[in-house]
């Protein structure tokens, strides 16, 4: 796919952005629109179905997944501002719906699903102009973005375009932050042990702000830092990119 | 029905009931060079804590005699291979025990054999590996029990990699015991600290002969 | 708390708590795992070459599994031709009975064992003790662990949970004439001295098998210490024990697996010894065992084999890379799992061997971060298999192939997901719920304490993204 071929995309907003970080959703829309891409946000969307899927409740996940497949039916890219939800659509829907009448549609959807930063960087090849003051940020790439989607470099490359932004990663960057969806609630002690280590590494980085392209990790790390009274401004990467680039076209 | 038949029947039934999607093997790697570069072998053996001496084949006995004097190696355990014979006839008149009777010599082997000398049938350049076959003239414990093992290996028997080395045995058949040795015995079982001579030789000296 | 159990789910929470509270243990594992990951990384400098090699490893193991029953018959045939006697065991008990019988038949008295996970799995040491035999572990790590009355905490480095000071104390206390020293060379020297005596006088040696080659009837054993060679060379009788899945088709399959196994396991390019055994001592040979036996153990593997997806479990070459890369294993250590195989592969193997009713909870100790799947040299899709087993744990499908299926299902959780699905399958209902959530942010019932104990409360935004987009559609026409 080339940039010229893209003038319309779907936005799959994700449930965590919907409730906890709507500003990241708005930033996503604006980042795409600034590139001349029309963003279609089907209002009937809810969630990708990952929480029950990862808990073993495949039937419930399938109920929700079918609706996503049906509501994002036009043959245009589906943009997801989350590595883990994008991974669900791209890698798990074909399996989850393999024996469903929608199997072909699920495979088609999977093939045109993109993580936001992957799409901005690889397909739209955006050029970002930094309008902000010098700042150091620590970027936490979610495991799903890093491994399942393979988009760590895309997020870092976009940040790298911002002249006044110094980017670092926490020590042991590839280590899971301990969120894991329902894992954080089902295995709280292990999750807390992992999150504590991640918070320590984030703090030790000395950065002024924490960024992540996944809201789950952000809620986990930021939530623990705030409880510790040790918080630093924490944003979704899309929010940060939009704000730094002044919102102008 | 015996256990064997029940196990095989279950496997056959499982395979039929749930056939696997065939997996495409990757393209075979490019053929390795046939004339192996010996530098990696020397480097790898050195990194594995072995001592490598590259030498003309006619020269190793003199060099070994000099090393023996220096390091007070006095009593040699050997098999009946070529290097054993050469060494026994060396001018330095080394004290040699020919190891060829397990029943009578086993206790002494464990108790008092300080240095073993043997011929390796080949080598693997890539990994710094000696190929040692069990043979009537080469007891397998010779390369295992004495704390120092001196090995003679000829350059022309060195293969570039393990695939080439094993291909040779696919044709000729395997000995009862084929051993690939890539350094002295070692362990890191205590707090990831490397220690040599866990159970086998603490020292491995390799004469790589032209 | 370091024993294996046939009911790993029982007290799993207690073991997790104790492990996380043990600062020394966490320090040991953090150090060891970081060390092993770094070493592995340094062995695979070229990512493309690594991926090619993993493709090859997976294809070799998959091809062997596709032909498994035929290869086992071929292996048996070639082994017999080579003079290796082959025995088949459906269960642990049968395997132990066969081995005990073999020892009795040669009037074995002194038994040494090389490191073997298969014999840990079948509980051989306990079975031999019950039959009046003592079997001495000869791998340094296993020896330390056995002497302390513990079980291994890692499949490659059994004593990884111990530091040298505690081993120094143990040796000084338990081995006569041994002064306390933390010098690792001296500690290993002590082990060498004790175990040499055992090797010299052993009449039966027991070992595992890394791979068995069907084409040639050959047993391949991989090690660094030489205890494996001692155990398989010095005693008159050698008994090798192996899971039926460990067969490979051809000698030519070995090199790629050898490129993967030691590098993935300990970050070594190659192990000190690769020991290929194709028969007992011949008449014209001076040494080597007079009898070689191969005990093929099923113990539930043929059941795992029957499911196409779960079959990938059997590709495992027991390198331990999955646990070395698992953030949960790194923090818990091996003993918390209560299983012979800990970490991700254990979370996949154990529920299938013991049943989901007894070991299904193990599958919850995973954040599905994918690090294990990425590290696996034979591309076992470990996260997918863990997720699959979670599904089998709660399914009410009677056709589920896994024992104890559905036994992890809790009515309360099932209800939560039914309600969840209803809400998320009805967009208007979903928008009503999220609207309520955002409007009554302060009135929300507190999230489980599991979350809030160490994290700030989750606070919904004042207005949801859906609402903002709906408003935008009205007030801010699209460009």
Dump pLDDT digits (tens) for C348-358: 999 999 999 99
Give the tokens for residue C160: 């990884």
Tell which C residues from 73 to 92 touch B, by Cβ distance under 8 Å. Answer: 73, 76, 82, 88-90
Give the tokens for residue A37: 């891409």
Give the tokens for residue A189: 């002690």
**Which residues of chain A neighbour C367 with C-beta distances below 8 Å?**
143, 176, 178-181, 183, 191, 194
Please indicate whether, in this complex, the C-beta atoms of C278 and B140 are within 8 angstroms of each other: no
| Nearest-10 crossing angle of helices C343-354, C382-394 | 30
**Which residues of chain C neighbour B141 with C-beta distances below 8 Å?**
233-234, 287
Strands C273-277 and B177-181, how do they pair? antiparallel
Strand partners, A40: A10
Q: CB of B170 within 8 Å of any CB in chain C?
A: yes
| Tens digits of pLDDT across chain B (210 residues) | 699 999 999 999 999 888 877 666 666 655 555 667 899 999 999 999 999 999 999 999 999 999 999 999 999 999 999 999 999 999 999 999 999 999 999 999 999 999 999 999 999 999 999 999 999 999 999 999 999 999 999 999 999 999 999 998 988 899 999 999 999 999 999 999 999 999 999 999 999 999
> Are C241 and C207 a contacting pair, CB within 8 Å?
yes
Element at C367 (helix H, strand E)? none
**For chain C, how far is it from start to end, CA to CA, in angstroms?**
65
With a pLDDT cut of 90, the percent of chain C lying above it is 92
Tell which C residues from 266 to 305 touch B, by Cβ distance under 8 Å. Answer: 266, 269-282, 284-288, 296, 298, 302-303, 305
Backbone angles phi, psi at A114, to 5 degrees: -130, 145
Could you state, in chain order, the average pLDDT of each consecutive group of 10 residues for chain C (479 residues)? 80 97 93 95 96 96 97 98 98 98 97 96 96 96 96 93 95 96 97 96 98 98 98 98 98 97 97 98 97 98 96 98 98 96 98 96 98 98 98 95 96 95 96 88 64 90 96 75
Alpha-carbon distances of C110 from A177, A229, C118, C375, C478, rounded to whole Å: 50, 63, 20, 40, 84
Q: What are the pLDDT digits (tens) for A118-133?
A: 999 999 999 999 999 9
**Which residues of chain A neighbour C413 with C-beta distances below 8 Å?**
55
Residue ranges in B113-201 assigned as alpha helix (H): 162-172
**Which residues of chain B neighbour C90 with C-beta distances below 8 Å?**
3, 6-7
Q: CB of A153 within 8 Å of any CB in chain C?
A: no
Q: What are the pLDDT digits (tens) for C59-92?
A: 999 999 999 999 999 999 999 999 999 999 999 9
Please indicate whether, in this complex, the C-beta atoms of C244 and B3 are within 8 angstroms of each other: no
> Are B182 and B44 a contacting pair, CB within 8 Å?
yes
Give the tokens for residue B144: 């295992």
Q: What are the pLDDT digits (tens) for A143-155?
A: 999 999 999 999 9
Q: What are the pLDDT digits (tens) for A171-227?
A: 999 999 999 999 999 999 999 999 999 999 999 999 999 999 999 999 999 999 999
Residues 6+ apart with CB under 8 A from C57: C256, C257, C260, C317, C377, C378, C379
Element at C60 (helix H, strand E)? helix C47-66
Averaged pLDDT for residues A19-37 = 97
CA B92-B97-B98 angle, 5° bins: 110
Residues 6+ apart with CB under 8 A from C395: A56, A58, C405, C406, C409
Interface test with C, best of B48, B189, B194, B196 (most C CBs within 10 A): B189
Q: A126-162 burial string, b = 16+ CB within 10 Å, else e?
A: bebebeeeebebbbbbbbbbbbbbebbebbbebbebb
Say which residue the tokens 């932004």 belong to.
Answer: A165
CA dist A142 and A215 (Å) reads 9
Q: Tell how far CA C36 is from the center of its chain.
A: 16
Which of B106, B167, B190 is opposite residue C164, by nearest beta carbon?
B190
pTM of the model: 0.96
CA dist C252 and B170 (Å) reads 8
Which of B18, B136, B141 is opposite residue C306, by nearest beta carbon?
B18
The shortest C-alpha distance from B123 to chain C (Å) reads 13
Please indicate whether, in this complex, the C-beta atoms of C460 and A19 are within 8 angstroms of each other: yes
- Greater confidence, C451 or A117? A117
- The conformation of residue B25, written as its DSSP 8-state character, comes to P
Rounded CA Rg of chain B: 21
> Are B36 and B165 a contacting pair, CB within 8 Å?
no
- DSSP of C198-230, one letter per residue? HHHH-SEEEE--SEEETTTTEEEEEESSSHHHH
Mapped onto helix, strand or coil, the DSSP state of residue C152 is: coil
Alpha-carbon distances of A146 from A155, A176, A229, B71, C331, rounded to whole Å: 10, 10, 29, 56, 21
Confidence class for position A57, pLDDT limits 50, 70, 90:
very high
- The answer to whether A and B touch (≥3 CB pairs < 8 Å) is no
Q: What are the pLDDT digits (tens) for B10-67?
A: 999 999 888 877 666 666 655 555 667 899 999 999 999 999 999 999 999 999 999 9
Q: What's residue C477's pLDDT? A: 61
Q: Does the pLDDT at position A141 exceed 60?
A: yes
- Is residue B147 exposed (0-12), middle (13-18) or buried (19+ Cβ within 10 Å)? middle
Mapped onto helix, strand or coil, the DSSP state of residue C286 is: coil
Please indicate whether, in this complex, the C-beta atoms of C305 and B13 are within 8 angstroms of each other: no
Residues 6+ apart with CB under 8 A from B16: none
Q: What's residue A4's pLDDT? A: 63
Which of C290, C251, C303, C321 is CA-nearest to residue C33? C321
Helix (H) and strand (E) counts for chain A? Answer: 14, 8
Backbone angles phi, psi at C119, to 5 degrees: -75, -25
Please indicate whether, in this complex, the C-beta atoms of A195 and C393 are within 8 angstroms of each other: no
Give the tokens for residue B113: 């054999």
Give the tokens for residue C36: 């092993």
Say which residue the tokens 């005693």 belong to.
Answer: C235
Strand partners, B53: B207
> Are C188 and C194 a contacting pair, CB within 8 Å?
no
Interface test with A, best of C332, C411, C454 (most A CBs within 10 A): C454
| Dihedral angle computed from the Cα positions of residues B132, B136, B142 and B145, in that order, rounded to the nearest 10 degrees | 110
Q: What's residue A248's pLDDT? A: 47
Interface test with B, best of C156, C158, C279, C286 (most B CBs within 10 A): C286
Tell which C residues from 457 to 476 touch B, by Cβ distance under 8 Å. Answer: none
Element at C87 (helix H, strand E)? strand C84-89
Helix (H) and strand (E) counts for chain C? Answer: 23, 10
CA dist B17 and C307 (Å) reads 8
Phi-psi region of A78 (alpha: psi -120 to 50; beta: other; left: phi over 0): beta
Residue ranges in chain B assigned as alpha helix (H): 3-17, 39-47, 60-71, 82-88, 102-112, 162-172
**Which residues of chain B neighbour C160 with C-beta distances below 8 Å?**
192
């Amino acid at each position: 796919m080339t940039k010229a071929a893209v003038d319309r995309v779907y936005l799959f907003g994700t449930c965590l952005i919907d409730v906890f970080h709507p500003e990241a959703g708005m930033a996503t829309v604006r980042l795409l629109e600034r590139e001349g891409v029309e963003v279609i946000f089907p209002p009937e969307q809810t969630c990708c179905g990952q929480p029950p899927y990862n808990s073993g409740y495949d039937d419930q996940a399938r109920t929700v997944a079918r609706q996503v497949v049906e509501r994002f039916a036009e043959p245009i890219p589906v943009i997801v501002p989350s590595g883990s939800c994008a991974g669900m659509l791209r890698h798990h829907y074909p399996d989850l719906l393999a024996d469903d009448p929608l199997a072909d549609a699920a495979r088609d959807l999977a093939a045109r699903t993109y993580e936001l930063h992957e799409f901005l960087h690889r397909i739209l090849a955006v050029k970002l102009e930094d309008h902000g003051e010098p700042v150091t940020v620590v970027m936490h790439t979610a495991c799903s973005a890093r491994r399942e989607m393979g988009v760590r470099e895309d997020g870092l490359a976009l940040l790298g375009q911002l002249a006044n932004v110094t980017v670092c990663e926490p020590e042991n960057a590839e280590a899971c932050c301990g969120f894991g969806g329902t894992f954080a609630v089902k295995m709280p002690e292990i999750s807390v042990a992992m999150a504590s280590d991640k918070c320590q590494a984030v703090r030790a980085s000395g950065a002024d702000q924490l960024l992540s392209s996944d809201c789950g990790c952000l809620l986990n790390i930021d939530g623990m830092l705030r409880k510790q009274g040790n918080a630093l401004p924490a944003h979704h990467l899309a929010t940060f990119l939009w704000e730094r680039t002044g919102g102008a076209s | 029905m015996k256990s064997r038949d029940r196990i095989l029947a279950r496997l056959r039934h499982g395979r039929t009931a749930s056939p696997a999607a065939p997996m495409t093997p990757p393209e075979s790697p490019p053929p390795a060079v046939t004339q192996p570069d010996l530098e990696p072998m020397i480097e790898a053996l050195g990194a594995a804590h072995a001592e490598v001496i590259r030498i003309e084949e006619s020269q190793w006995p003199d060099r070994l005699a000099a090393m023996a004097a220096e390091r007070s190696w006095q009593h040699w355990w050997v098999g009946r291979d070529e290097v054993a014979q050469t060494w026994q006839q060396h001018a330095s008149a080394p004290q040699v025990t020919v190891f060829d009777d397990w029943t009578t010599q086993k206790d002494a082997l464990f108790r008092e054999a300080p240095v073993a000398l043997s011929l390796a049938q080949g080598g693997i350049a890539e990994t710094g590996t000696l190929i040692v076959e069990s043979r009537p003239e080469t007891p397998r414990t010779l390369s295992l029990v004495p704390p120092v093992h001196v090995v003679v290996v000829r350059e022309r028997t060195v293969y570039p990699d393990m695939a080439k080395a094993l291909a040779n045995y696919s044709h000729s058949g395997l000995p009862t015991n084929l051993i690939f040795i890539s350094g002295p015995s070692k362990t890191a079982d205590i707090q990831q600290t490397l220690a040599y001579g866990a159970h086998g030789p603490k020292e491995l000296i390799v004469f790589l002969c032209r | 708390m370091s024993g294996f159990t046939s009911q790993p789910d029982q007290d799993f929470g207690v073991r997790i708590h104790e492990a996380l509270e043990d600062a020394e243990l966490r320090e040991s594992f953090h150090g060891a795992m970081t060390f092993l990951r770094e070493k592995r990384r340094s062995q695979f400098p070229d990512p493309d070459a690594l991926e090619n090699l993993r493709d090859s490893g997976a294809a070799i193991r998959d091809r062997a599994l596709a032909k498994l029953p035929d290869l086992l018959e071929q292996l048996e045939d070639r082994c017999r031709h080579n003079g290796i006697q082959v025995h088949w065991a459906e269960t642990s008990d049968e395997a132990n009975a066969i081995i005990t019988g073999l020892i009795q038949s040669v009037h074995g008295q002194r038994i040494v064992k090389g490191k073997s996970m298969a014999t840990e799995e079948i509980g051989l040491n306990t079975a031999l003790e019950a039959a009046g035999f003592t079997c001495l572990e000869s791998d340094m790590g296993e020896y330390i662990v056995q002497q302390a009355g513990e079980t291994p905490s890692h499949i490659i480095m059994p004593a990884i949970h111990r530091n040298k000071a505690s081993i120094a104390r143990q040796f000084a206390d338990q081995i006569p004439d041994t002064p306390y020293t933390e010098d690792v060379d001296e500690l290993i020297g002590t082990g060498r001295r004790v175990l040499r005596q055992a090797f010299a006088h052993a009449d039966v040696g027991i070992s595992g098998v890394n791979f068995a080659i069907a084409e040639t009837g050959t047993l391949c054993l991989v090690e660094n210490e030489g205890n494996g060679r001692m155990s398989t060379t010095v005693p008159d009788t050698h008994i090798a024990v192996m899971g039926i899945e460990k067969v490979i088709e051809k000698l030519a399959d070995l090199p790629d697996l050898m490129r993967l196994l030691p590098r993935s396991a300990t970050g070594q390019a190659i192990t000190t010894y690769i020991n290929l055994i194709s028969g007992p001592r011949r008449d014209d040979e001076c040494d080597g065992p007079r009898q070689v036996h191969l005990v093929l153990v099923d113990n539930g593997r043929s059941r795992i084999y029957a499911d196409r997806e779960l079959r990938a479990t059997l590709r495992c070459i027991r390198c331990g890379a999955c646990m070395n890369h698992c953030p949960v294993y790194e923090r818990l250590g091996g003993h918390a799992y209560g299983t012979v195989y800990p970490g991700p592969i254990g979370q996949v193997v154990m529920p299938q061997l013991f049943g989901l009713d007894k070991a299904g909870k193990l599958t919850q100790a995973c954040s599905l971060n994918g690090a294990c799947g990425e590290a696996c040299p034979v591309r076992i899709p470990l996260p997918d298999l863990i997720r699959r087993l979670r599904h089998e744990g709660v399914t009410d499908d009677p056709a589920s192939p896994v024992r104890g299926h559905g036994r992890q299902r809790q009515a309360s959780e099932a209800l939560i997901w039914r309600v969840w699905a209803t809400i998320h399958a009805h967009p208007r209902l979903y928008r009503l719920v999220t609207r309520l959530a955002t409007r009554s942010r302060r009135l929300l019932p507190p999230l489980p304490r599991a979350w809030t104990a160490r994290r700030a409360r989750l606070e919904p935004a004042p207005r949801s993204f859906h609402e903002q987009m709906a408003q935008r559609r009205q007030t801010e026409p699209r460009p």
